A and B are shown apart, each in its own frame.
Chain A
C-alpha cells in the first residue's frame, strides 16, 4: 500500500477506471497536458492518450453538453468542472439534462456522467471558487452527490461514482487535497454510494457531517470529551444523496442528541434535510433540539473573512455544549 494525499488517490481512481474500461473518458479545462489546476489528472493524458484524456475549450456548459451526448452514446465521461463555483454554467446539463435522461427517454438512455469538481473554503481562493453548493445538488432529483473526507474514501467512492449508471456529482474539498496522507490500496476497490461511515463511536451525542467538516468535528469531539467526558459519535456521510438515513437514525436513537455540521450556509440545504428526517423518524428519541452548525446566510466571503465565516472547532464545541446541557 502507498501513502497518498487525497488528490493522488483521486488521480489513482481515474487511472484504475481508464485502464479497466475503455469507455471511460476524462476531460475538462486544463486536464490534459497540464494535469489539471490541482494536478488531479496528472500523467493521465501521457498514459492514456489524447483521445481518452483531453482538454476542452473554456466553456462549462459545453463540457456538460459534451458529457451528456457522450453518455447516451455508450461512453462513461468523467468531466471536471475546474471550480464548483462555476457549476451554474453547467447546471442545465446536470439538472435539466443528465438527471432527466432516463425519464425523458422512457429508460432507453441513461447518463452515467461523473462531474468532478474542487470546492470548499479555507484556501484563500478568489471569489466564486470556494462555494458549498451541494444543497442545490441534493435537491436535484435523479442526481447522486458524493463528498469524500479522506484519501482512502476518495478513491473507493470515485471508482463507484464512475461505475454508477446514473449521473454523479463528486465534490473534492480543496483543503483536503494535500492536507494529509493515508494508506491507499493499489488497484481497484469500491466504497458503496449512499452508505455513511461512523468514524467515531460514542453514546452521548451524534455529530452528522461530511467533507472537511469531518475533521473539524473530530477535533471538537476530542475537546468536549476531554472537557466533560461526554462520548461523541461522529458520522461521515460520504454521500449526501442518497442519504444514509438509517445510520443517522440508529445513532440518534442511541445518543438521543445530535448536531449537524456543514460548511454551507444555514438555510435549507443538507443540515435542514437531515434534521427534518430525524424529526420524521426519531423525534420521540430526542432529549434536545437538533442544532445546525453552519456558515451564515451570506455569499461566500472574500479571503480576509473566510476563517471567521467558516464553522470552526469552537462553534462545534459550543453546539455540542448546548445540546448536552439542554
Chain B
C-alpha cells in the first residue's frame, strides 16, 4: 500500500525529523527558509507558552481559572504549525489548542475568560480567523471542509487547518471530513497531535492501524508523519501542506507524534493511573524546547539572557491578561438570550424580560 506523502519519504516510515533530540540537524535539505529572527521568534513563542501553561495550571489550582487542558510537551506541534500559516488562514481548534488561537491573534485575556465560561471568551474579534475550541471530538474535521470550500469557491489562496488528537481519528467525522476534502480537493490541513493517549486510552487500543497518517489513504489525500517534538519538522510539513492546498492540490493529513506531560485536563485527571513515569522521562528527553534551544545556541542565536527575558515577558503578559479578565463584568443570562437569534422570537423576549428584572435587582 502506498501513501502519498506531502513531503519527503523517510526511511522505514519513521517520522520525519529535521532536528535530532540533541539539536543537531539531520535533514539539512529540508531546513525551512527562516531568518535568524524568525528562528528566535519560534523559540520565544515556545518558552512563552511553557511559562503561560505553568501559570495557567497554578491559577487553576488556586481556583482562578476554570476548564483548562495543559499543553506542555506539545509546544512544537502547536507553535510550529501556527507559525507556518498566515493570519488569513482559518484555525478550527480543539480544546487544548488555545496557544494556536492566541498566536493567531485571539487575545489572551479572552482565552482566560473562555476557561472561566464567560461569553466574552468566545467573542472572536473581527479579522481573527479562529473558531472557538471544538468540544465534540472531530466535528471540526467536517466544518473545516466548509470553510475551505468557501476559499476555493472564491478563489482565495487560504487554507483551513483543523486540530485534533489521536482519539478523534476513531470518530466518523474524521473520515467524513477527509473524504469530503478528498472528493472536492479542498485546501484543508488535518493536523493530528498524536500524544499517545485519548484521556487514558493508549494509541494501540484506539486503533489497530499502525499509525494515523496511513488513514489518509482511505480518503485519497496526502499525508505525512512527523516528529511533533521537532518544531522545524512541524513547520516544514505544514508549510508544504499549505502550499499544496493553495495550489489546488488538495488536503493533507499530518500526524505529529508528541506527548503531553500533564494531565488530560485540570478537572481531576491523574495520568499515573494509565502511564508510567519511565515513559514520561523518555519523552522529556525529546523535549521540543531543549532540542530547539540547543540548535539555536549552536548557532549563537539564543542565550540564558534571552530565555530569562521571555520568562519575565510571559509572566507579565499572563498577569496582565488575568487582570483584564478579572475586570470583565460577570456574564449575564440576558447576554446569552441576545445571541440566540438575529431577532428574538416572542417567547425569548418574554424570558429576557424575566431575567432583566432579576439582573437589575
- The answer to whether the Cβ of B142 comes within 8 Å of any Cβ in the partner chain is yes
- Chain B contacts of A97 at CB under 8 A? 136, 139, 143
Near B by CB (< 8 A), chain A positions 49-76 give 51, 56-57, 59, 61-62, 64-75
A65 to B150, alpha carbons, bound, how many Å? 13
The answer to whether A71 and B146 have CB atoms under 8 Å apart is yes
A199 to B169, alpha carbons, bound, how many Å? 52
**Which one of B7-15, B64-72, B73-81, B172-180 is at the interface?**
B172-180
The answer to whether A104 and B132 have CB atoms under 8 Å apart is yes
**Which one of B123-131, B257-265, B289-297 is at the interface?**
B123-131
- The answer to whether the Cβ of A29 comes within 8 Å of any Cβ in the partner chain is no
The answer to whether A165 and B132 have CB atoms under 8 Å apart is no
- Chain A contacts of B120 at CB under 8 A? 106
Which of under 10, 10 to 19, 20 to 34, or 35 or more describes the interface residues of A?
35 or more
Chain A residues packing against B (C-beta within 8 Å):
51, 56-57, 59, 61-62, 64-75, 77, 92-93, 96-97, 102-110, 141-142, 164-166, 194, 241-243, 245-246
Q: Given A93-B139, A106-B123, do A74 and B146 touch, yes or no (CB 8 Å)?
A: no
Nearest A residue to B146, CB-CB: A69
A317 to B145, alpha carbons, bound, how many Å? 51
Which of under 10, 10 to 19, 20 to 34, or 35 or more describes the interface residues of B?
35 or more
- The answer to whether the Cβ of B345 comes within 8 Å of any Cβ in the partner chain is yes
**Which one of B16-24, B35-43, B302-310, B335-343 is at the interface?**
B335-343
Near A by CB (< 8 A), chain B positions 167-196 give 172-173, 176-177, 179-180, 183
A82 to B289, alpha carbons, bound, how many Å? 51
The answer to whether A64 and B142 have CB atoms under 8 Å apart is yes
Q: Which of B135, B147, B177 contacts A72 (CB 8 A)?
A: B147
Q: Which of A51, A57, A73, A165 contacts B147 (CB 8 A)?
A: A73
Known: A105-B122, A106-B119, A246-B346. 18 other contacts (CB 8 A): A57-B179, A57-B183, A59-B172, A62-B173, A64-B142, A65-B141, A66-B142, A66-B145, A69-B147, A70-B147, A72-B147, A105-B124, A106-B124, A107-B123, A108-B125, A141-B340, A142-B340, A194-B345
Chain B residues packing against A (C-beta within 8 Å):
90, 119-120, 122-126, 131-132, 135-136, 139, 141-151, 153-154, 160, 172-173, 176-177, 179-180, 183, 336, 339-342, 345-347
- Chain A contacts of B179 at CB under 8 A? 57, 59, 62
Q: Which of B123, B125, B147, B346 contacts A242 (CB 8 A)?
A: B346
- Chain A contacts of B150 at CB under 8 A? 69-70, 73-75
Q: Which of A61, A66, A72 contacts B131 (CB 8 A)?
A: A72
29 A-B residue pairs with CB within 8 Å:
A61-B173, A62-B142, A62-B145, A62-B180, A65-B142, A65-B173, A66-B149, A68-B142, A71-B146, A73-B149, A74-B150, A75-B150, A77-B146, A96-B135, A102-B339, A102-B340, A102-B341, A103-B119, A104-B131, A105-B122, A105-B123, A105-B124, A105-B132, A106-B119, A108-B124, A108-B126, A164-B342, A165-B342, A242-B346
Pairs A-B, 6 closest by C-beta atoms:
A69-B146, A65-B142, A106-B123, A73-B150, A242-B345, A62-B176
